[in-house]
Amino acid sequence: MGLAMKTDCQICGHTLDARSEAYICIHECTFCKTCTEERKHVCPNCSGELVRRPRAPLTAAAACPLG
């Protein structure tokens, strides 16, 4: 099962496309870089660590063949 790849920061509502720098916790709560840094990389929902979300490939040719 892949990531949900939510499209908005859950705090400020900033739009996050598949190539945006975004941060997620274990529950896939999603935040922009600014909101993540303001919270010192701690999820305000579960207190888990916020880590950089992987970026989607630019083209279908770069997609994982296993997906």
Residue pLDDT, tens place only, 1-51 = 677 789 999 999 999 988 899 999 999 999 999 999 999 999 999 999 999
For residues 39-67, average pLDDT: 81
Sort strands 30-32 and 22-24 into parallel, antiparallel or unpaired. Answer: antiparallel
**Hey, what are 17's tokens?**
């496309």
Average pLDDT over residues 55-63: 64
Q: What is the pLDDT of residue 66?
A: 56
Q: How far apart are the first and last CA of the chain?
A: 9
Q: Which pTM was predicted?
A: 0.80
